[in-house]
Structure 1
Amino acid sequence: DYAVWQQGTLEVERMEAHEAYWLSVFTEEAPVLELPTDHTRPAVPSSEGGKVYTSVSAKTAEALKRIAAETGSTLYMVLLAAYNVWLHKYTGQTDIVVGTPVSGRTHADTEPMIGMFVNTLALRNAPSGDKQFIDFVREVKARTLTAFEHQDYPFEELVEKLSVRRDRSRNPLFDTMLVLQNMEQARFSLANVDVRSVELSHPVTKFDLTLNVVEVNQGLHMSLEYSRALFNASTVERLSSHFVQLLTQITERTDASIASLQLVTLEEKQQLHAFNDTAADYPREATIHELFEAQVEKTPNAVAVVYENRQLTYAELNRRANQLAWTLREQGVGPDRIV
């Protein structure tokens, strides 16, 4: 009955208004999110997925709620703003579409009914480095509220109306989702029986990445669902830790610009410093070219330089350098001459 009712109202004025809104949001073609992946995207999508779990402390969760209160928004809107910033940091893109599910029970008569009413919204936002995060939250709030006002318009109708160019390796309009579960969890009890919820293993994913957030007394529990065809588990663990790092920074510096927020954790910074600690002693009494030629004599066949798929040994590099030197001398180049 509900399906018949919904189909019967698609042509009425209310649905036409919903359609006009969504078509206006996607007047310009939706950008493809170019996430850096571990593996080349397969031509035929794989549904094999994995999950990585992490959590946000109660202190950080409370601070996020204070940002929501200050901006007149909700925890979901603050998380959505952070999620957009997180994606912006990895891609450099300033036009990002994120999917989100909505209950679809906007009519009072649907509240007690059993069935699948969930619809999907494609939320389009514009994170850029020059914006303050707090201002971006207000921007996300305004766009999200308007989108929710028009949530009755079926996602599949929008895809059809937009004549989205189909790519079998991608989903239409967006490749990543954010889901916040903050509904009251009903307690279930039986006499003399201990009842607990159990997480079922379900290694399937519909999108490149889906961040699921559950609000609990101890803070926020998060699971980042990913496509195994694109990402390694270790990479997704790092992505997840970066999101926690971003949320922590946001709560400490609400007036910070998006550009100044960093994903790199303290441990990673220390690792980078170690990687870049390349200072080395060398003989001060010799010139650079003398030191280089001494190395040529030691390891003539060792690789000296690599560029893309080309490489030169020390002997080859020395020969090429000498060829260039003689060519310059033939052109009249000598000491103290600018070339």
Structure 2
Amino acid sequence: MTRHEVLRTRLVAGPDGVAHQVIDPPAPMPVPVFDLSGSLDPQGAANDMVTKDALTPFDLANGPLLRATLVRLSPDEHILSLVIHHVVFDEWSDRVFQRELSALYEAFRAGEPNPLPPLAFQYADVVAWQRQWLTGDVLDSHLSYWRGKLGGAPDLELPTDRPRPAVRSTEGAVVRFSAPAGTAEALKALSREHGTTMFMTLLAAFDVLMSRYTRSDDIVVSTPVANRNRAETEDLIGFFVNTLVMRTDLSGNPTFTELLGRVRGTALGAYAHQDLPFEQVVDAMADVRDRTRSPLARVSFNYAAEAVGTSPSDRERAGGAGMGIETGTGLLPVQFDMVVALGEDDGALTGEIQYSTALFDAVTVERMAGHMVTLLGSVGANAEMPVGELPVLTEAEHEQVVREWNATVEPLPVVGGVHELIAARAGSMPGAVAVVCGEVSVEYGELMGRANRLAHYL
């Protein structure tokens, strides 16, 4: 905490109600120790303790915004639990924190001095610099881009299992899935061939899936970005991550490779304007904030090269070959209707879908995960196919639709022709509708009368 000021920072509201940073001086950090070695299930008890600690709220004004607990499982096995508020920490910070903590631990255990070089900047310095830079013509340029890109963007209307509640709920659950290594290799080759990143390729596939579900060619999803595009920020801990909104045009039923070009252009434009904080984009686009849904985008998509999951067991479960869907049993907070994240593990693609339990049932999300896996395989097999023709049904669903729900093999009645079937229906149900043309309908009895008159005339 001495090294990174942001870890000893509090957010205190001023007289105007606006929170500002208060950086406390370095001080020893309490680390309570809990000995669970005598428990019947030390690991299970530790998991419960860590989960409870993670769900305990922070006091932003009084701090601290970092809690540490040491749990003893046995004389030579311990767990260090660290809970840090997201306002001072992001995923990149986690990597920095673990790298530096390991370096300090190894050095101090060996009786050596601090091996880390001093930091030239602190998080507050970068924030102050960005605030000064993002004004005037620079700010106007970024705002103009996002207004032009997102103006008139529709809401992503996914079919839900229940109506949207009046008050947005953050309760959610997770479904995990995986795609074979062969699919991952095919998509990597496709990305190399067309000059796209794996993120762009997977986002394009996800856009296709969202287009199928919403029956729309205008797809809007959000994605987190590290927003550390300057070398000075690479070794800093802090909340740098920003949210970008990607709007994709799928009109004209392009081939997937054509869609890749569109997504690439959208992504590069968004990256060039990523310095504008998401909340300022929201303020520029939304005159009236709808509190029942997340602003600008209801669905979030992300890709990271490492495996998706929060623990080694998660990664192990998610990394098997095939679809491998696993439904999470516990609740977790979600800020969107749906959050889809993909990663890699031992060459295979792993993924998870976090979803709002107020809107979706687990079986619905499991079905979507299966469609995502099928679609990724379809893209890898034939990227020149129009996106509207790419298969999304799993083998089991295809068999159900084509075979089970379409079993039309029936014995034919012994008749001389279709006219006899029509005459029989007219005799048994003369008032049933036989023919419809626009606003006009003709019943079987009337149809037979007209046919008889025509026959007599002929």
Aligned to 1:240: 369
- Tell me the secondary structure at the aligned position of residue 335 of structure 1: helix
Q: Which residue of 2 aligns with 1:4?
A: 128
**The one of 187, 198, 217 aligned to 2:346:** 217
Counting only pairs closer than 5 Å after superposition, residues 12-91 of structure 1 correspond to structure 2 as 12-26=136-150, 28-91=151-214
Query: Which residue of 211, 217, 241 corresponds with 1:118?
Result: 241
Distance in 2 (alpha carbons) for counterparts of 1:327 and 1:127: 48
Of stretches 5-14 and 213-222 in structure 1, the one that deviates more from structure 2 is 5-14
1:173–1:333 Cα change, 3 Å = same
Q: Is the 8 A contact 1:250 1:261 kept in 2?
A: yes
Of 286, 292, 303 in structure 2, the residue corresponding to residue 163 of structure 1 is 286
Superposed, 1:1-339 pairs within 5 Å as 1=124, 2-26=126-150, 28-128=151-251, 130-182=253-305, 197=312, 199=314, 203-272=332-401, 273-281=403-411, 283-284=413-414, 288=421, 318=429, 320-321=431-432, 333=450, 335=452, 337=454
SS in 1 for 2:407: coil
Q: For residue 32 of structure 1, give the secondary structure of its aligned residue in structure 2.
A: coil
Kept in 1, the 8 Å contact 2:307–2:343? The answer is no
Q: TM-score, normalized by length of structure 2?
A: 0.60
Structure 1 stretches lacking a partner, 5+ long: 186-195, 297-317
User: Which one scores higher on RCO, CA 8 angstroms, separation ≥ 6?
Assistant: 1
Q: CA deviation at 1:182?
A: 1.8
Note closer, same or farther for the CA distance 1:99–1:291 as it changes in structure 2 (3 Å cut).
same
Structure 2 counterpart of 1:310: none
TM-score w.r.t. length of structure 1:
0.80
One-letter code of the match for 1:117? F
Cα separation, partners in 2 of 1:324 and 1:127, compared to 1, 3 Å = closer
What is the CA distance between 1:170 and its match in structure 2? 1.7
Query: What SS class does the counterpart of residue 182 from structure 1 fall into?
Result: coil
SS in structure 2 at match of 1:145: helix
- Please give the per-residue CA displacement for 1:246-296, whole angstroms capped at 9, x wherever unaligned: 1101111121111221211222111112111133336425954786699x8
Q: Which one-letter code corresponds to 2:140 in the other structure?
A: E
Q: Which deviations, in whole Å up to 9, do the C-alpha atoms of 1:1-49 show, x marking residues without a partner?
A: 23333333331433332222112212x3111112112212222211121
Which residue number in structure 2 is paired with residue 300 of structure 1? Answer: none
Deviation at 1:327, TM superposition (A): 6.8
Larger Rg: 2
Structure 2: unaligned runs, 5 residues or longer: 1-123, 315-327, 434-441
Q: Distance in 1 between matches of 2:447 and 2:255?
A: 53
> Which residue of 2 is the match for residue 308 of structure 1?
none
Matched position secondary structure for 2:342: strand
Partner Cα distance (2:306, 2:349) in 1: 13
Report SS of the residue matched to 1:178.
strand
Amino acid at match of 2:261: R
Alpha-carbon distance in structure 2 between the residues aligned to 1:113 and 1:321:
76
| Cα RMSD, aligned residues only | 2.8
CA deviation vs aligned residue, 1:102-143 (integer Å, no higher than 9, x gap): 112223322222111110000111113521101111221121
C-alpha deviation, 1:153, in angstroms: 0.5
